[in-house]
């Protein structure tokens, strides 16, 4: 039949095409802008997150690197000092053995005096008023004027001290050639006979005269080391009075009388045979350069440096550039008495941050951020201090405990250079992505706009034809038909319109006959619907009966009260409430002799399938317990294998979280992955144990043995363990707030001291009060175990 179409209206703002373009184009435009905006926002967020994570990672790595560097430097210094201590103790051990065996001491002294007279014969120097052996001997021995007789020869007791000390010629050269590098090793006699024997040979008495005028008029120990001898005497009377439990005494840096270098001395006092007094001392010197070499080797970043400081802030070692950066000034402390020391204190720094730098134990290994002035610019630095092992230190006066520290100083901009470079790279990449994204959005908008215009023209042509035909149909012209050549929805609408017009024409002519036919069809359909409803009612009754039986079976396998009461040493109370007729929660208490196994689990979902899986778990657990399986790891692994195979056979997608508590001989072992375990101790302290690392959901994999682990839990009298499923902590009130683990802790702790039944009842009351009239969406299970 020939189609009749209305002429197409012009494209105006009120036309369908205009509205189509506005609506569809606007929606697509909004979607593009929204998705594009979200994409741009996500790119920026990812950039910020990446920058933050990279920053945190590099910051942590750099700080750990600085700490490790400080620790390794401190270990190097400790090792150097320990090696010197070892050499001094070796020399002191030989000399102490001589003192403890006078006969051998006399024999060795006489033999060495006979074989090496140059080591015992001293020549008087009238100018200096002292006597000293001539060059050529392995050691130099100096005897001060007040130890000489009227004939300028050593007093008898002094000469014996000279003879006995020659044993140092046998030991000291070997020690000097081995171990750590030492400037010299020596023996100094007791306060009454302070001869000074040193290896190697030097003009030590002449050097003393030059550096310390008047020393020969004073008692040796009080002139050079005032207070040190008195401390040793106190140690002899009471060894517990030593500040550090070691006989080695270290001095603060001072100017050596022999070499003129800054040195550090290490003394070990020698004791009389009765250990009641001082018999002399063995010693060794190292130059400050040796200590400084360890610290000055520090090379971190470009300009980072290290320093060694005493607890008073006096810096023992630092390189010149580092000294300038932290603003130190040096001075020599030359008094009228005692050795000349070095004063270079952090407390005197011109940098306020350095002057106030804390040196106590609380800042050991702590990253400290400070600002230093560098040519008028405030520069951020990182400082780490690492404390050395404590030692007995003499500086002036009594010996005290001293703990030196190694410091590492590095500019932040150098240590974080890699961080800044990474952040800059991420920023550039982000900007490129943003530009590409914006370009893609603009191109997409242009393509979409052109496509909407073309599609709107194609769609609205057919719609206009349909609109014209509908108007003619409204005027009861049932002969009208439309011709729409497209094969899309509009074309289908045109075909449907033509059929509708035919049917209208047909039904107009046969309306009464059609009414009767439709009435008969509706009656037949109504009877079929009634029959189907009857069948549905019968099916619902049958399913309800089956669910009731399943629920009854599920409740029957739960532990009975008399079983729980028969377990010695434990009070156990439990509560289970399914969300549906059949629940998916599991708990059981199995006893076999002295072993008690308490299990709790939660099958995914709830209903009949979950309840059947729960019954499978209960059956397998009971069987394993009866086979006397004692190993919790093997128990859970075998149970999982059985459940996994049953799940495969039944072709369900269920699995469950499952944990077991094994109680035997006052010991509790936890295994398996489930909700956190709550423990309320007898003193009210609450502990929360995470089970995430103790297993894997049961039935998810065939072999979970490598994921299974156990944890032993102390469980003493009065302690309470609370097991629960997520139906407890995820229960919601009318404001959608969860009951949560904290409320569970508070509820259990509030009733600590009561019986297991009282604690269970109280927690359930609090839970139900929280839920109120809300529907319970998940199964609820709670098990309370109290150690009586």
Q: pLDDT (tens digit, 9 = 90+) per residue, 276-303?
A: 999 999 999 988 777 777 777 777 778 8
Give the pLDDT mean for 483-502: 76
CA distance 451 to 164: 112
Confidence label for 57 from pLDDT (cuts 50, 70 and 90) = low
pLDDT for 429 beyond 50: yes
Which tokens in the block code for residue 654?
A: 């269920």
**Range among 20-34, 108-122, 471-485 rated most confident:** 108-122
CA distance 206 to 215: 11
Confidence label for 334 from pLDDT (cuts 50, 70 and 90) = very low
The string of DSSP codes covering 711-723 is: EEE---TT-EEEE
Confidence label for 515 from pLDDT (cuts 50, 70 and 90) = low
- Asked whether the beta carbons of 249 and 393 are under 8 A apart, the reply is yes
pLDDT tens figures, 623-641? 999 898 989 999 999 999 9
pLDDT for 5 beyond 60: no
Examine residue 300 and say whether the peptide bond preceding it is cis (omega within 30 degrees of 0). no
Task: Indicate the SS3 state at residue 265.
Answer: strand
The pLDDT value recorded for residue 502 is: 76
- More reliable by pLDDT, 480 or 350: 350
Give the pLDDT mean for 38-46: 72
pTM reported for the whole predicted model? 0.49
CA distance 289 to 635: 66
pLDDT tens figures, 642-656? 999 999 998 888 999
The pLDDT value recorded for residue 121 is: 94
What burial letters (b/e) apply to 494-512, b meaning 16+ CB within 10 Å? Answer: beebbeebeeeeeeeeeee
CA distance 346 to 310: 10
266, β-bridge pairs: 250, 284
pLDDT tens figures, 353-384? 998 888 877 778 888 999 999 888 899 999 99
Task: Indicate the SS3 state at residue 708.
Answer: coil
The pLDDT value recorded for residue 284 is: 94
Give the pLDDT mean for 705-710: 95
The pLDDT value recorded for residue 173 is: 93
The pLDDT value recorded for residue 19 is: 66
The pLDDT value recorded for residue 158 is: 95
- More reliable by pLDDT, 641 or 542: 641
Give the pLDDT mean for 469-477: 79
The pLDDT value recorded for residue 30 is: 76
Confidence label for 495 from pLDDT (cuts 50, 70 and 90) = confident
User: 10-14, 130-134, 332-336: which range is least confident on average?
Assistant: 332-336
Average pLDDT, the chain: 85
| Residues making up the chain, counted from first to last | 788
> Could you tell me which of 653, 652, 654, 658 has the C-alpha nearest to residue 638?
658
The pLDDT value recorded for residue 539 is: 65
CA distance 180 to 82: 9
Give the pLDDT mean for 763-769: 95
The pLDDT value recorded for residue 730 is: 94
pLDDT for 705 beyond 80: yes
Give the pLDDT mean for 678-696: 95
- More reliable by pLDDT, 332 or 474: 474
pLDDT tens figures, 736-747? 999 999 999 999
End-to-end Cα, the chain, rounded Å: 97
Confidence label for 228 from pLDDT (cuts 50, 70 and 90) = very high
User: 214-228, 236-250, 683-697: which range is least confident on average?
Assistant: 214-228
Give the other-Cβ count within 10 Å of 426's Cβ. Answer: 18
User: 200-209, 262-271, 521-530: which range is least confident on average?
Assistant: 521-530
Give the pLDDT mean for 662-666: 86
The pLDDT value recorded for residue 484 is: 72
Residue 605's alpha-carbon distances to 549, 579, 583, 611, 653, in angstroms, are: 20, 10, 9, 10, 10
CA distance 671 to 691: 8
The pLDDT value recorded for residue 279 is: 95
Q: What percent of the chain has pLDDT over 90?
A: 46
The pLDDT value recorded for residue 17 is: 62
Give the pLDDT mean for 664-690: 93
- More reliable by pLDDT, 8 or 724: 724
The pLDDT value recorded for residue 43 is: 67
pLDDT for 538 beyond 70: no
Task: Indicate the SS3 state at residue 431.
Answer: helix
The pLDDT value recorded for residue 340 is: 47
Give the pLDDT mean for 606-616: 83
- More reliable by pLDDT, 582 or 217: 217
């Amino acid at each position: 039949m020939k189609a009749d179409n209305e002429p197409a209206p012009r494209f105006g703002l009120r036309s369908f095409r205009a509205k189509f373009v506005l609506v569809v184009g606007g929606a697509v435009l909004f979607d593009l802008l929204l998705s594009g905006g979200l994409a741009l926002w996500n790119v920026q967020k990812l950039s910020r997150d990446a920058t933050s994570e990279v920053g945190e990672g590099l910051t942590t790595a750099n700080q750990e690197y600085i700490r490790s560097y400080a620790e390794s430097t401190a270990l190097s210094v400790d090792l150097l000092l320990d090696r010197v201590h070892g050499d001094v103790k070796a020399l002191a051990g030989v000399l102490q053995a001589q003192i403890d065996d006078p006969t051998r001491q006399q024999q060795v002294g006489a033999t060495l005096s006979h074989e090496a007279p140059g080591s015992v014969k001293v020549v008087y120097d009238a100018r200096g008023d002292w006597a000293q052996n001539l060059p050529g001997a392995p050691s130099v021995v100096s005897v001060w004027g007040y130890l000489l007789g009227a004939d300028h020869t050593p007093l008898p007791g002094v000469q014996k001290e000279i003879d006995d000390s020659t044993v140092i010629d046998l030991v000291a050269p070997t020690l000097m050639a081995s171990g750590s590098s030492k400037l010299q090793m020596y023996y100094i006699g007791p306060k009454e006979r302070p001869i000074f024997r040193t290896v190697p040979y030097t003009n030590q008495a002449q050097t003393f005269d030059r550096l310390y005028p008047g020393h020969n008029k004073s008692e040796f120990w009080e002139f050079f080391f005032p207070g040190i001898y008195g401390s040793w005497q106190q140690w002899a009377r009471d060894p517990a009075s030593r500040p550090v439990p070691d006989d080695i005494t270290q001095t603060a840096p001072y100017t050596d009388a022999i070499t003129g270098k800054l040195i550090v001395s290490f003394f070990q006092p020698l004791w009389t045979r009765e250990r009641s007094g001082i018999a002399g001392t063995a010693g060794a010197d190292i130059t400050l350069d040796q200590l400084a070499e360890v610290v000055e080797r520090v090379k971190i970043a470009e300009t980072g440096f290290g320093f060694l400081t005493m607890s008073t802030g006096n810096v023992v070692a630092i390189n010149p550039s580092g000294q300038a950066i932290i603003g130190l000034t040096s001075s020599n402390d030359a008094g009228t008495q005692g050795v000349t020391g070095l004063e270079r204190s952090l407390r005197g720094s011109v940098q306020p941050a350095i002057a106030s730098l804390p040196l106590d134990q609380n800042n050991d290994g702590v990253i400290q951020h400070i600002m230093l002035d560098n040519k008028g610019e405030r520069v951020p630095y990182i400082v780490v201090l690492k404390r050395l092992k404590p030692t007995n230190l003499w500086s002036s006066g009594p010996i005290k405990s001293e703990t030196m520290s190694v410091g590492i100083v590095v500019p932040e901009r150098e240590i974080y250079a890699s961080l800044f470079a990474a952040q800059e790279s991420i920023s550039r990449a982000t900007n490129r992505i943003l530009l590409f994204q914006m370009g893609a959005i603009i191109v997409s908008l242009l393509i979409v706009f052109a496509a909407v215009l073309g599609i709107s023209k194609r769609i609205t042509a057919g719609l206009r034809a349909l609109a014209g035909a509908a108007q003619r149909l409204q005027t009861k012209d049932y002969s009208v038909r439309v011709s729409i050549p497209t094969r899309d929805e509009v074309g289908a609408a045109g075909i449907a319109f033509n059929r509708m017009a035919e049917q209208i024409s047909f039904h107009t002519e046969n309306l009464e006959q059609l009414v009767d036919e439709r009435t008969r069809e509706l009656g037949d359909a109504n009877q079929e619907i009634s029959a189907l409803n009857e069948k549905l009612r019968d099916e619902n009754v049958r399913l309800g009966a089956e669910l009731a039986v399943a629920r009854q079976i599920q409740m029957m396998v739960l532990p009975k009260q008399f079983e729980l009461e028969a377990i010695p040493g434990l009070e156990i109370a439990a509560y289970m409430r399914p969300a549906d007729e059949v629940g998916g929660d599991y708990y059981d208490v199995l006893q076999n002799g002295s072993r008690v196994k308490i299990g709790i689990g939660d099958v995914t979902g709830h209903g009949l399938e979950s309840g059947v899986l729960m019954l499978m778990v209960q059956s397998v657990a009971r069987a394993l317990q009866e086979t006397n399986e004692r190993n919790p790891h093997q128990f859970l692994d075998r149970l999982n294998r059985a459940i996994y195979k049953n799940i495969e056979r039944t072709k369900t997608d269920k699995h469950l979280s499952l944990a077991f508590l094994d109680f035997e001989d006052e010991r509790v072992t936890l295994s398996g992955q489930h909700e956190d375990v709550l423990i309320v101790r007898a003193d009210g302290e609450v502990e929360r144990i995470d089970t995430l690392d103790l297993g894997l959901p049961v039935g998810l994999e065939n072999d979970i043995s490598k994921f299974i682990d156990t944890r032993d839990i102390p469980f003493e009298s009065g302690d309470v363990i609370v097991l629960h499923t997520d139906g407890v902590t995820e229960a919601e009130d009318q404001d959608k707030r969860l009951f949560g683990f904290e409320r569970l802790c508070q509820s259990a702790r509030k009733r600590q001291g009561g019986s297991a039944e009282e604690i269970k009842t109280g927690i359930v009351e609090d839970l139900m009060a929280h839920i109120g009239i809300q529907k319970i969406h998940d199964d609820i299970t709670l098990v309370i175990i109290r150690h009586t």
